[in-house]
Each structure stands twice: as structure tokens, then as C-alpha cells.
Structure 1
């Protein structure tokens, strides 16, 4: 691995889950029971996925989060350590089980996910305070919304106090973000559904992404990247013109963790001091590979695989 790809430290503050994945011919409708044809169990959680993506692309990565004192917690923690991730800021809570995500994946690659937070709910502002040393040592700090929102806010406040670059993946989004959050965010990276919820505008195309990004920028975010799945990504930089980045064409098998792959790779490239355009390009290529494979963390490619993809 080159020195360039190891510059800087990415800190992921977020969720760690066990993914229970069922594959089926189509996604069940409300009240419908259908037969599945495959079941698997994987390491997951948006925070864990993003940390693994950043590590596999060549980044130097630390993670802050919480697992339970159960078998799942031991396996999840060991998996992150195997990836070379610094887990010194991951706490073990004996009162709650490790988080679980129940994932249904249809044969066309689409999915539905139900998350039970478990020990992820123990990532409190007090815990963030206990691990401010790793925030201070990081170059890029990444958050999502699968931990308590007040803890996300505490992380953003601490990161900006130490002058760190911040990335917020507002997922899952349930409504507009608090007004005081966006000025703390250097890169806001929602997908099209999340952008529509946050901006209160439809996002069904590049033009919709542009309108939503402008609205979110007016609300305080410096740079906005709306990921659009197979349609690519739209970047609205601070003080600049928007740019659309087409996505590589692939046959999707499972879209689980595609967004997390994008975020982790993007953050690692920012920490490696790469231009944002190059970071988006590499992140999209990695995400495109991930959707051709089943599972969350098992689908995330290495740097070698991305560089050698046709």
C-alpha cells in the first residue's frame, strides 16, 4: 500500500450490528408471507460497514461504538480488529445485546431492513466525551444516524472544536435535521430518499438532487453529495457549481451496504488528501463492485479489487 493512501486517520462513530439476511424472489408486501431461498449472518451496522470500507480501500481507521457482552459482540469486535481497525474506542455494555439488522433481499437486488439498536443505544454523549482523544487525533470524523442523535451532535461539536473534517451520512433519515447540525457538517452525504426527507423536496432525478442539495446548502451544510444509486452522484460544493458523476454500469445482486461502501471509501480518500472529485470516483467504483455481491461487509471490495476492476 502506498504512503499516499495511508495518510490521515478516519474515525467512524456509529453502529455495529449483526445482519440476519434472508433472500427471496421479491420483497414481501404488507401482510404477505413468502418463501425465502437463502439465509446468512454477517457483520454489519452502518458504522461498522463504513469502517471496513475505509480500511479495505487502504485507509487508517479507528472506530467508536458499543457492542453487547454477548457472542455477537465478540464476533463483531474480532471482525473489525481483523480488518486492522483500531477498536480502542469501542465499549462493551453488559446490559443490552449487540444490535441486530433483519434484512430481506429480493432477487432483483433491492432490500428492506429493520434495525434493532440494542447496545448501539449506549453510544451516549458521555461516551463520546470519554473518547475525545481519538477525535482529536483523527483527520476525518464520520457519523450516521443509527446511534442516538444527541451523541451524533456531540461528536460533530467535538470534531469541529478540534478543527476536524466532518462527514455526516444522515441515514436512516426520519425528518429534517436540527438547524444547529448542518453548520457543523463539511460533507453531508444523503441518498435520494434521505435527501428528499431532509430537504422536503422530491428527488427522482439529477435535477431533483440539485434542488435538494441547494436547499440543504442554504440550511447550512458546506458541501452536499446526493448519491443516486445507478444514476450516480451529484456534488454541490461550497461556493461552486454542481457536478453529476455517472455510476459504473453493473448488474446488481444486493444493494445492501452500497451506500456505506461509498461513505467509507470517500472518507478514506479525504483523509488521504485526495481531491473530492477523485474521492467520489473511487467511492462510486467501490460501491458498484459491492452491489454485485451478496451481504454487507462481505460485499465490500479491497483497493486491489477496485483498481483492477474492468
Structure 2
């Protein structure tokens, strides 16, 4: 079972002539509503690769229309939502303005995501075949507890260290590394995490090796057009290239990689193939607008032919 414990959001996106500064108001002709939250994004990406009924989403939404929509969207995508709890707080929401040059400004109201609790996860979920997927958009202490319970049951923890808290501490990174089997970061997140524990990496490759050794884990770095790099605690490295594409929208590409990678780890395919599937899924997502709408189905991933 793939268990995603994380955030669920509704994104409200408005195209504006200019992003307003303090005290200014601009008019947008309309707005678009999208489903988001890194947790929900990764759950959808995993379900499209793993298949309906193999992914369970755990988190919280409000008792509001946005919460209804977020749950229904997950169900439509084959994600089990029995562990999505209704909270008194409103459903998480991101307010996004995008100007004519494509620059954006984003305000995220976490809402019910900050009420997510590891106690919502029944003990029966934690088994040796459990693959737990975590991010950084719900309370860290709760995600950490879910990871520890997974460890105790000999399950597998995939932790996407994103977004990196503005003032991430040595203690936070140290605790996270201690319970993680696969650490997923991009180039900048790798350097930030390594720096937080007192290291001085010169680049993301050095940072990933330092993190892998410090946590006795495998560090996966997604590097956009450069593909993905996996570094084991022993220093062994694997690389997967990114397909050459002309991207339309990179929103959700990292979440797509995370979900596809989790699906492959659950299927126990070789790590090299898991990296290739993740890169291909992320690239295909970039060919379409929207975070979840562009996520590919299993049949569209050529690299999966190697697992047949």
C-alpha cells in the first residue's frame, strides 16, 4: 500500500496585468480553480501509475465546498480517501496571481492542513509493505510520528523535503534523516538541508552525498532538464536523464516525480528504473498546463516496459 500523509489545497489562479504591490488593487477578468497541495498532487500521480485502489490519502480538509471538491477529485483519480478527515478549519487554499511575463506571487493559507494528525492513521496501516510518502506542508511533528510508526513496522519512508522551511534547523533535518529511506529533494533543497546540519556543500551533488551518508539513506535529487541523481549512503551513484521536451507548464513536475517514484518503490523495481519512470512522468506532466491535469497514466510511460 502507498500511504500519502500530507496537504490538500484548492488553488485559485488569476491572470493580472501586473502583480499588485502594497496598497494596490488590480482587476483580473476571471480566475481558475485547480486542485493542489503537495500531498494530494503526489497521491494523484502515484495512483495514475500504480492503479486505482493502491494509494490512500491521509490529511484534513474543512467542512466546506472546497473540502467536498478536493475529496471528490481524489476519488475520481482512484485514490482512497477514507483517511481524509474533516476539520473545523477551512480547506487549505493557495491564492496565485500570474502577470503577463509569467511571474507569479503566491499566498498559501494552510487552514485544515495544520490540523493533520498522525493519530488519524490506524495501526493496521503500518506493515512491511507500506510505502509512506511525506512532504513539508503539514505539521512536522505529525509527519515525523507517522514516519517513526512506519519504521517500527519495517515499512518504507519516502520524504520529499519540500517546501524547505525558511528557517530549517539542524534538529529538524537530523530527525527527518533518521527515519527516512529515500530523501527526495531538488538541487536547492539538497544544499539547504546539508547546510542546516553544518555541512558546506559546493554543489547539489556534494550535498546529496553528504545527506545520504549522514542519514544512512538514499538521496534522490531531481534536477530539471538534467534528470535525476540517486546517491546511496555508500556513495554509489545512479543517474537517469530527463526526456528532451519543450515545457508548457512545470507546475507539479516534482510532485509527479515523487508519486511515480513511490509507485515504483512499492512495486520493488530496480532503483534505476524507478528514476527513469519518475523522470519520464515528470517530463510528460510539463507538456500540459495544471499540476494534476497533466500527470500521465501508466500506459503512457515507456520506461515501464522494462518492468514487464
Normalised by the length of structure 1, the TM-score is: 0.85
Contact kept in structure 1, 2:215 and 2:233, CA below 8 Å:
no
Offset at 1:218? 3.1
What secondary structure sits across from 1:80 in the alignment? Answer: helix
* Residue 276 (str. 1) matches residue 271 (str. 2): yes
Q: Which of the numbers 44, 68, 74 marks the counterpart of 2:36?
A: 44
Contact persistence 1:187–1:221 (CA under 8 A): no
- The one of 74, 82, 91 equivalent to 2:85 is 91
CA distance in 1, matches of 2:217, 2:300: 32
Counterpart CA distance in 1 for 2:159 and 2:203 is 20
Q: Distance in 2 between matches of 1:121 and 1:48?
A: 15
Larger CA deviation: 80-89 vs 132-141: 132-141
> Which residue pairs with 2:124 in the alignment?
133
What CA distance in whole angstroms lies between the structure 1 residues aligned with 2:30 and 2:115? 32
Q: Is the 8 A contact 1:159 1:165 kept in 2?
A: yes
| Distance in 1 of aligned mates of 2:100 and 2:189 | 24
Q: Does 2:205 correspond to 1:214?
A: no
Residue of structure 2 in register with 1:6 after alignment: none
Alignment RMSD (CA, Å): 2.7
The structure 2 residue matched to 1:14, chosen from 1, 6, 12, is 6
Aligned to 2:293, the other structure's residue is in SS state helix
Structure 2 SS opposite 1:297: coil
Of structures 1 and 2, the one scoring higher in RCO (CA 8 A, sep 6+) is: 1
Gaps of 5+ in 2: 197-201
Q: CA deviation at 1:103?
A: 3.2
Going from structure 1 to structure 2, the CA distance change for 1:68 and 1:220 (only over 3 Å counts) comes to same
CA separation of 1:169/1:111 partners in 2, compared to 1, >3 Å: closer, same or farther?
farther
Q: CA deviation at 1:265?
A: 0.3
C-alpha displacement at 1:178, in angstroms? 3.7
Q: Which moved more, 1:224-233 or 1:102-111?
A: 102-111
Deviations for 1:192-234, whole angstroms, at most 9, x for unmatched residues? 1211211129xxxxx7221111221232140001111122111
Aligned to 2:215, the other structure's residue is in SS state coil
2:68 paired residue among 66, 70, 74: 74
Q: Does 1:53 align with 2:45?
A: yes
Question: Which structure 2 residues correspond to residues 112-261 of structure 1 after superposition, within 5 A?
Answer: 113-128=106-121, 131-136=122-127, 138-174=129-165, 175-176=168-169, 177-200=172-195, 208-261=203-256
For normalisation by structure 2, the TM-score amounts to 0.86
Residues in 2 aligned to 1:126 and 1:109: alpha-carbon distance in whole angstroms: 41
- Pair 36,155 (structure 1): closer, same or farther in 2 beyond 3 Å: same
Q: Which moved more, 1:223-232 or 1:241-250?
A: 241-250
Pick which of 101-110 and 156-165 moved more.
101-110
2:59–2:117 Cα contact (<8 Å) kept: no
Equivalent-residue separation in structure 2 for 1:236 and 1:29 (angstroms): 43
1:3 alignment partner in structure 2: none
Question: Measured at CA, do residues 282 and 148 of structure 1 come closer, stay the same or move farther in structure 2, by a change above 3 Å?
Answer: same
Separation (CA, whole Å) in 2 of partners of 1:127 and 1:117: 18
8 Å contact from structure 1 (residues 188, 221) kept in 2: no
Once the 2 structures are TM-superposed, how far is the Cα of residue 37 of structure 1 from its aligned partner? Answer: 7.3
Structure 1 range deviating more: 111-120 or 229-238:
111-120
Provide, for residues 11-35 of structure 1, a one-character-per-residue CA deviation record: whole Å limited to 9, x for no partner. Answer: 1010011011234688x59669877
Of the structure 1 ranges 240-249 and 108-117, higher mean CA displacement relative to structure 2 is found in: 108-117
Q: Residue 92 of structure 1 aligns to a residue in which SS?
A: strand
Give 1:307 shift: 3.4
> Compared with structure 1, are the counterparts of its residues 104 and 186 closer, same or farther at alpha carbon in structure 2 (3 Å cutoff)?
farther
1:121-145: per-residue Cα shift (whole Å, max 9, x none)? 11124334xx232233752111001
Equivalent pair of 1:108/1:253 in contact (CA under 8 Å):
no
Q: Secondary structure of the residue that 2:84 maps to in structure 1?
A: strand
Matched positions, count: 293
